[in-house]
Structure 1
Amino acid sequence: MKNILLLLFSFLLLPLGTSAQDSISEKTANMERHEGLFDFWWDDDTGKIWLEIDKLDQEFIYVNSMAAGVGSNDIGLDRSQLGNTRIVKFVRVGPKVLMVQPNYDYRASSENSLEQKSIEEAFAQSTLYGFEIEVREGDRVLIDITDFLMQDAHGVSDRLRSNNQGNYSVDKSRSAIYLPGTFNFPKNSEFETMLTFTGNGAGGWLRSVAPSSDAVTVRLHHSFVELPDDGYEPREFDPRSGFFPVTYQDYSVPIGEDMTKRYAVRHRLEKKNPEADVSEPVEPIVFYLDNGTPEPVRTALLEGGRWWNQAFEAAGYKDAFQVKMLPDDAHPLDVRYNVINWVHRSTRGWSYGSSVVDPRTGEIIKGNVLLGSLRVRQDYMIAEGLLAPYEEGVEPDPEMLEMALNRIRQLSAHEIGHTLGITHNFAASVNNVASVMDYPHPMVSFDDEELNLSEAYDMGIGEWDKRTVIWGYQDFPENVDEKEALEDIILETIDHGHLFLSDEVARPQSGSHPDAHLWDYGVDVVDQMDHILNVREKALNQFGENNIRMGRPMAYLQDVLVPIYLFHRYQTEATVKLVGGMDYSYQIRGDGQAGPAVVDAETQRAALDEVMKTLQVETLALPEYLLDLIPPKPMGMGASRENFRGYTDPAMDPVAMAEVAADHTASLLFNPQRAARLVLQSSRDSESLGYHDLLRSTIHGTIMGEKTDGYEGTIQRAINVAVLRNFMRLAGNENATPDVIALSRSMLSHLKDQLAEKSSGESEMIWKAHYSQASDMIENFLSGDDSYSIPPAPYTPPGSPIGSGETGNLHLRCDF
């Protein structure tokens, strides 16, 4: 009894939070040790990971990523997808260790420690997790990190819930540490878990990819990374440079100076000899291609990625940028590797270029590219639709595969560009294809009246890309004033005539710049609109059996037809931006660039006339013979999201197709920002194109235009409904200006009376009903009846990105 009491008394004297073991080595004696940045042990008996912390209060980088994804582009949880990059530190408080994230959004560059402290205390930090200390030896502690690794750090549950795919949470009984993805190195410790999410209410997207929607298992990767040393020199961001910025507020700057500080996001790259015009780098930038990429895509991606070395050569480097195959024993999320991932999804979607970035300086630590594998297949199908290459007994034209592979080469270069720190340049297409950082539309030419794809995509790095790399990566000798030298590079780029315009000016719905467009090509946007319509007309007129391989169901023609019928949609988006357009640059005081200027009236009217062609019956009426050629989808081959849906299911519906195409154009024309710009520019110059001009052209070119009969009349009525629908939406848009709303409602009231008059005088029953219905739609809308809703458009097949493919943030995610 005495011995028992003595043992109990001794146990009570142990420090709180400390186990009965006297040392870390005793606690971990029967476990598997992994030495590295943070030593850890794997306990096979309990399935736990024990982490030794010998770097208390020392900051490091923490990143979580998706090692194995869900496989749905719509949900967006892809294999090798990066999560947030955080600077954190372990802080011991009594028996606990806290993982604390300091707030680097608000800082003090002052050397005054008290000033720094006041700013640190002014803004919240974040404590990401708390751990109980198992063993403490001086400044070393041992903690169980398993629960931290097993949490939903990537926000899978939130993503599923926000996409209406169900209510799910981690089921720990079906989750475990994933040892093949858990390893340790001197500068990074890597952990991986297999997480199973269970719940209910699974949505269609999730059901389509999970073998059982009751249990969705993915893998989550955690990286602890040593902070880079202080040898990296941050480069102040310049909005004309083409680079992404990291941004923070500096509260210690003198009054009158800008508190917002920005650094360009870029890799560390230095010349061995900065004095030399051409020098090898101290350490090259090396990217590694996913070793699961098949041929011939593998070779194409390697070749496209290596284009960037041309830009680094222009900056005075030799072999500074390299692309190799990822070693078979390497993990793609190992922070030591810049990786180009070949990612599979059940549906086509965007590709991405993202990075792990040091938020203190903008230094890129790891570049991470995700390329959707369906890209090349969709591009190949577009080539099938354009060329109609399958005559019986004739092999497929190799030009189609070459076109698709050239697109993959360009895609590889584009996404790598983002991971070099470079943003989009959507003015490159009208600037002699000066950048791979634009979105390229396939360039189709006529060769003896036949369509030709031999020059569909440009090859090699662009001249603007070279200028951008020179600004971002030039290593200057010690006797050079870097700030002045960087400004000289920018001014020289401008003098060379290179335009740089990025995402915010290029979007078709609200963008206004006449030179910044998505998915266009050609110097003259209006001329290219006419060319695109001619290409589309040729492709549709020759569309038929020869667009699919022998032995395929004829219904497959529906899939091939969609991108050809809507082939003009992207150039329409580019051309309509000239209507109400404004030319400007990322101007800085003193750089000599011109101020903003409205696009001249003649150009605007020419653009509007060209866009109006996309609302004409002769453009949108599908050749009738195709209705007798293309059957409904057979059993086992149901309609997909890529197909048109209409009023005549299961038969193909040319009326719905025309309404979809017309709705696209009308939605661009009747945009509230565009209408407001038109009102403003005509108020300043009566000769300018005004909103009332757009209304007259659109209404008289469609709804009030000369009617047609039969099949074409059916198409025309669908176009009219699409135009009226979007006109009313603009008139009821609460974000539209008072003048736009007033003009819209006035014109609608006048149009209502005109339609009623046309209905009363119309003898043909279908047109009489059409005019009457349109007049009633306007009357119901103008009455303010809350129960009335504008009829929706038919389902529109997904468009952008062309192929399988847009906006950068700190992770440099690209919607491309």
Structure 2
Amino acid sequence: MKTNSQFFLGFLILTFLSLYAPSGFSKEVTYSGFIDFSYATETGKVQLKIDQLDKEFLYVNSLVSGVGSNDIGLDRGQLGHNRVVKFQRAGNKILLIQPNYDYRAVSDNPEEAKSVREAFAQSVLWGFKIEKEENGAFWVDATDFFIRDVHNVTGTLKNAKQGNYKLDGSRSAIYKEGTKSFPKNSEFEVILTFTGSPEGSWVRSVVPSPEAITVRQRHSFIELPDNDFELRPFDPRSGFFSISYQDYATPIDQPLTKRLPVRHRLKKKDPAASVSEAIEPLVYYLDRGAPEPIRSALMEGASWWNQAFEAAGYKNAFRVELLPEDADLLDVRYNVIQWVHRSTRGWSYGASVIDPRTGEIIKGHISLGSLRVRQDYLIAQGLLSPSEDGVHPTEEMKAMALARLRQLAAHEVGHTLGIAHNFAASVNNRASVMDYPHPLIELSENGSIDISNAYATGIGEWDKQVIKWGYSDFPEGSDKPTALEKIIQESLQKELRYLSDRDARPYGSAAANAHLWDNGQNAAQELQRLIKVREVALQKINPNSLSDGSPMATFEDILVPVYLMHRYQAEATAKVIGGIHYTYAVKGDGQEAVSFVTPHEQKQALDALLKTLTPQFLSVPNQVLNNIPPMPMGYSKTREHFGSHTGLTFDPIAAAESSVNHCLSLLLNGQRATRLIQHHAMDKTQPSLLDITNTLLDATIKMDDNNSNPDSYQSEIQRMVNERTLHYLLGLAANSSASSQAKAIALYQIENLENWLKNKKSKAPEWQAHNLLLAEKIKRFKLNPDAFADHQVEKIPDGSPIGMHCGF
């Protein structure tokens, strides 16, 4: 029988729960901040308190913990979409609505703005049932909204062909430790488990039980900035990223599309002063998970940007600090440099949280792959192979790897300042950290490899000009358009070139001065120089490069980047052939918009490329051939090794074949072939496709084989080169991206080659057999052009990122 005191105690408990636990009898934790909410520990439910309807804010999703595979592309700290949203009541629901800022009417006429809003669809992202209304505020259960795959993990896995997965609600929950609220942002973290049948090797390699993949995702509600951010019209010559929208209030004599550069908010305390401190400086915080000496290298490299802000008239406006111990990497209040681990080396990223209305950067978020430094160390290890005494120049190797990390940190920070790639900076003596730098490998006076100047130090001249244009704070009453144009003209007068991503790709792009991973003002001359450096490195490389106790088979790891040292400079050189010089010229700025590359430069380029097809260049030295056995138990070949036609053994012909395929795929590219035809038609001094293919065939298939040792190693390489040359010529004849005349020229050369082979008199049976193969290949092509590729192409081992790559 209960006593009166027991009844009274029960009454007090019930009263307390009814007052402080709106979700029933479960224990609750309440959070106050940008959006107030409660979390019920017994039910795992989150209730939002919505007390401001129709007020816009930023909604960002992100991936807190990743899968750990570069190929899958689901990394720790990966940012997702930025959306401007607002809560709106509709009967017994609260709708989360995303307005359409791609189409606007920037007008004082509200009806004009309304007409555009109603012309284009908006998106309702979620509907919340109102659980309780209290003092003008609405409480809604947001648990299902948060426990969902907003980051599209399932879609990413499917697109990567790793399996069909679905979210398992029974193994997913609110992650309380990552759920918090701050004055300007509220963070909601969930632990999500995706179940399915794994289909790919990538997911199996990184997930302990690949039928169940568990990650954490974050939903961030962020206060939008005020309206005081200064809008600046985008200039395609500036070097900045941009956002764009259609403004239907634009007068008919002006462009409908408006573009704004992506920038941080930065203002001087005294805009009239030539040098002034910033009202609020830009501070970047480094992940405490980065170890030494990497930590110091990253902080130093990222800090280089202060040099550019000083050149723009700021004092101490940019600095880098270690992330406070209690800080959250995904907290919008912190610009962060994050150290990310994956199972394989891969990309680094400079991403940002951006206000889609104005282009203002609210948060810079950088992800640096931790294995990249090891790749640079590996390159140095191969270049500085020790002599027979086995003494490793370890400090020099570390110095090169850390120098690359400094440049990488600066590069990725540059993206989060709003700056795009500049892939033409290498022709201006490494004028920008926003280029992709190949290590500058030199030969000293005594003929030894020198990597002391592998990577540039400090911010580049181009980078300073970009920061000036994007962040200069002009005094009141200044003619800002004129001042900004003056900065652009300064860059032009200094002949600082700027071309970005699309212009630099080795296939499709015609830009002769924009390349990935190149050096030098003249691509062909640099390739010729690099060929000499490579020859020295290959003659020097030996098993003493390996650490004690390493399997001899892993000598191939060191060989690959040295043997393929030329691959990116070959890409740059190939772009000169059929290439053009062009700029992002605007009317009236005095720049030459387009011009052909000179015939002399194109001949230089072809001569340099043909050197990479010679047996002398492609041969692997004996001290290498005699020291790479098959992989031992517990080790296996990866995509960063050469393929093989000989089973488990190291295949030097296949290694050479991968390099040859790379060169010929560049040289006989369908779009390049078409440009050669068109340029020659417009200017007879320009080399024609017929000229290029004649020179190629004379240097390969039509070389006199009767003066060579028919069963030698180099003759075997030559026969492989010949077969590959025909293979790619046949490919050009069937290439859908090539013009009809380009295909016609290829067919013409094939017909001539067939007749030449009929009359070819080779003495050695090895060469007779080879010529018979070529003739048979042509015959089969004529019977069925679509099936001419009867030989599997030996893929070149993975290279990029040689030390870095990034995305925005």
Task: Tell me, yes or no, whether TM beats 0.5.
Answer: yes
User: In 2, Cα distance between the equivalents of 1:336 and 1:672?
Assistant: 49
CA contact (8 A) 1:745 1:782 kept: no
User: In 2, Cα distance between the equivalents of 1:148 and 1:433?
Assistant: 48
> Could you tell me which residue of structure 2 aligns to residue 626 of structure 1?
624
Any residues of structure 2 matched to 1:290-301 within 5 Å, and which? 290-301=287-298
User: In 1, Cα distance between the equivalents of 2:309 and 2:225?
Assistant: 23
> Could you tell me which residue of structure 2 aligns to residue 713 of structure 1?
715
Note the alpha carbon deviations across 1:489-523, whole angstroms, 9 max, x for none.
11111112111111121111122222211101112
User: In 1, Cα distance between the equivalents of 2:449 and 2:393?
Assistant: 15
> Could you tell me which residue of structure 2 aligns to residue 69 of structure 1?
66
Of 690, 693, 698 in structure 2, the residue corresponding to residue 692 of structure 1 is 690
User: In 2, Cα distance between the equivalents of 1:112 and 1:277?
Assistant: 40
CA contact (8 A) 1:392 1:550 kept: no
**Partner letter of residue 363 of structure 1?**
E
Any residues of structure 2 matched to 1:468-483 within 5 Å, and which? 468-483=466-481
SS in 2 for 1:341: strand
SS in 1 for 2:49: strand
CA contact (8 A) 1:172 1:196 kept: yes
User: In 1, Cα distance between the equivalents of 2:671 and 2:713?
Assistant: 36
Of 584, 591, 594 in structure 2, the residue corresponding to residue 593 of structure 1 is 591
Q: Percent identity?
A: 51
User: In 2, Cα distance between the equivalents of 1:787 and 1:450?
Assistant: 48
Any residues of structure 2 matched to 1:14-163 within 5 Å, and which? 26-27=22-23, 30-137=27-134, 139-163=136-160
> Could you tell me which residue of structure 1 aligns to residue 510 of structure 2?
512
- Unaligned 5+ runs, structure 1: 1-20, 808-812
> Could you tell me which residue of structure 2 aligns to residue 225 of structure 1?
222
User: In 2, Cα distance between the equivalents of 1:256 and 1:650?
Assistant: 69
Q: How many Å apart are 1:765 and its aligned residue? A: 2.6
Q: How many Å apart are 1:69 and its aligned residue? A: 0.2
Note the alpha carbon deviations across 1:265-292, whole angstroms, 9 max, x for none.
0000000000100000000111111110
Note the alpha carbon deviations across 1:245-283, whole angstroms, 9 max, x for none.
001111111112100100000000000000100000000
**More deviation in 465-474 or 387-396?**
387-396
User: In 1, Cα distance between the equivalents of 2:305 and 2:374?
Assistant: 25
Q: How many Å apart are 1:725 and its aligned residue? A: 2.0
User: In 2, Cα distance between the equivalents of 1:775 and 1:49?
Assistant: 73
SS in 2 for 1:504: helix
**Partner letter of residue 231 of structure 1?**
D
> Could you tell me which residue of structure 1 aligns to residue 728 of structure 2?
726
**Partner letter of residue 737 of structure 1?**
S
User: In 2, Cα distance between the equivalents of 1:237 and 1:206?
Assistant: 42
User: In 2, Cα distance between the equivalents of 1:26 and 1:418?
Assistant: 46
Any residues of structure 2 matched to 1:263-412 within 5 Å, and which? 263-389=260-386, 391-392=388-389, 394-412=391-409
> Could you tell me which residue of structure 1 aligns to residue 6 of structure 2?
none
**Partner letter of residue 432 of structure 1?**
N
CA contact (8 A) 1:289 1:324 kept: yes
User: In 2, Cα distance between the equivalents of 1:25 and 1:270?
Assistant: 46
Q: How many Å apart are 1:134 and its aligned residue? A: 0.8
**Partner letter of residue 696 of structure 1?**
N
**Change beyond 3 A, Cα 1:415–1:767:** same
User: In 1, Cα distance between the equivalents of 2:485 and 2:557?
Assistant: 51
Q: How many Å apart are 1:774 and its aligned residue? A: 1.6
CA contact (8 A) 1:562 1:643 kept: yes
Any residues of structure 2 matched to 1:401-800 within 5 Å, and which? 401-447=398-444, 448-707=446-705, 708=708, 709=710, 710-758=712-760, 761-784=761-784, 786=786, 788-800=788-800
CA contact (8 A) 1:348 1:805 kept: no
CA contact (8 A) 1:390 1:549 kept: no
User: In 1, Cα distance between the equivalents of 2:208 and 2:398?
Assistant: 33
Note the alpha carbon deviations across 1:681-707, whole angstroms, 9 max, x for none.
111222211111111111111122233
Q: How many Å apart are 1:429 and its aligned residue? A: 0.8
Q: How many Å apart are 1:791 and its aligned residue? A: 2.4
CA contact (8 A) 1:202 1:213 kept: no
Q: How many Å apart are 1:625 and its aligned residue? A: 3.8
Q: How many Å apart are 1:423 and its aligned residue? A: 0.3
User: In 1, Cα distance between the equivalents of 2:24 and 2:306?
Assistant: 49
Note the alpha carbon deviations across 1:401-431, whole angstroms, 9 max, x for none.
0000000000000000000000011111110
SS in 2 for 1:466: helix
**More deviation in 34-43 or 136-145?**
136-145
> Could you tell me which residue of structure 2 aligns to residue 14 of structure 1?
none
Q: How many Å apart are 1:293 and its aligned residue? A: 0.2
Q: How many Å apart are 1:622 and its aligned residue? A: 1.0
- Unaligned 5+ runs, structure 2: 1-16
Q: How many Å apart are 1:783 and its aligned residue? A: 2.7
SS in 2 for 1:615: coil
**Partner letter of residue 730 of structure 2?**
M
SS in 2 for 1:221: strand
Note the alpha carbon deviations across 1:657-693, whole angstroms, 9 max, x for none.
1111000000000112211111011112222111111
User: In 2, Cα distance between the equivalents of 1:796 and 1:547?
Assistant: 23
**Partner letter of residue 778 of structure 2?**
I
CA contact (8 A) 1:23 1:136 kept: no
Note the alpha carbon deviations across 1:67-112, whole angstroms, 9 max, x for none.
0000000000000011011111111111111111111111111121
Any residues of structure 2 matched to 1:120-269 within 5 Å, and which? 120-137=117-134, 139-269=136-266
Note the alpha carbon deviations across 1:710-736, whole angstroms, 9 max, x for none.
111111122122222222222111121
> Could you tell me which residue of structure 1 aligns to residue 7 of structure 2?
none
User: In 1, Cα distance between the equivalents of 2:781 and 2:395?
Assistant: 55
Alpha-carbon RMSD:
1.6
**Change beyond 3 A, Cα 1:512–1:788:** closer
**Partner letter of residue 402 of structure 1?**
A
User: In 2, Cα distance between the equivalents of 1:237 and 1:628?
Assistant: 59
Q: How many Å apart are 1:555 and its aligned residue? A: 1.1
**Partner letter of residue 375 of structure 1?**
R
How many residues end up aligned between the 2 structures? 786
Q: How many Å apart are 1:457 and its aligned residue? A: 0.6
Q: How many Å apart are 1:654 and its aligned residue? A: 0.5
Q: How many Å apart are 1:393 and its aligned residue? A: 6.0
User: In 2, Cα distance between the equivalents of 1:86 and 1:545?
Assistant: 55
User: In 1, Cα distance between the equivalents of 2:645 and 2:790?
Assistant: 18
**Partner letter of residue 557 of structure 2?**
D
User: In 1, Cα distance between the equivalents of 2:805 and 2:255?
Assistant: 38
Q: How many Å apart are 1:782 and its aligned residue? A: 2.6
Q: How many Å apart are 1:32 and its aligned residue? A: 0.6
Q: How many Å apart are 1:649 and its aligned residue? A: 2.2
**Change beyond 3 A, Cα 1:585–1:395:** closer
User: In 1, Cα distance between the equivalents of 2:514 and 2:806?
Assistant: 14
User: In 2, Cα distance between the equivalents of 1:333 and 1:390?
Assistant: 48
> Could you tell me which residue of structure 1 aligns to residue 9 of structure 2?
none
> Could you tell me which residue of structure 2 aligns to residue 11 of structure 1?
none
User: In 2, Cα distance between the equivalents of 1:389 and 1:405?
Assistant: 20
User: In 2, Cα distance between the equivalents of 1:806 and 1:768?
Assistant: 50
User: In 2, Cα distance between the equivalents of 1:279 and 1:232?
Assistant: 19
User: In 2, Cα distance between the equivalents of 1:440 and 1:789?
Assistant: 35
**Partner letter of residue 580 of structure 2?**
M
SS in 1 for 2:612: helix
SS in 1 for 2:276: coil
**More deviation in 452-461 or 730-739?**
730-739
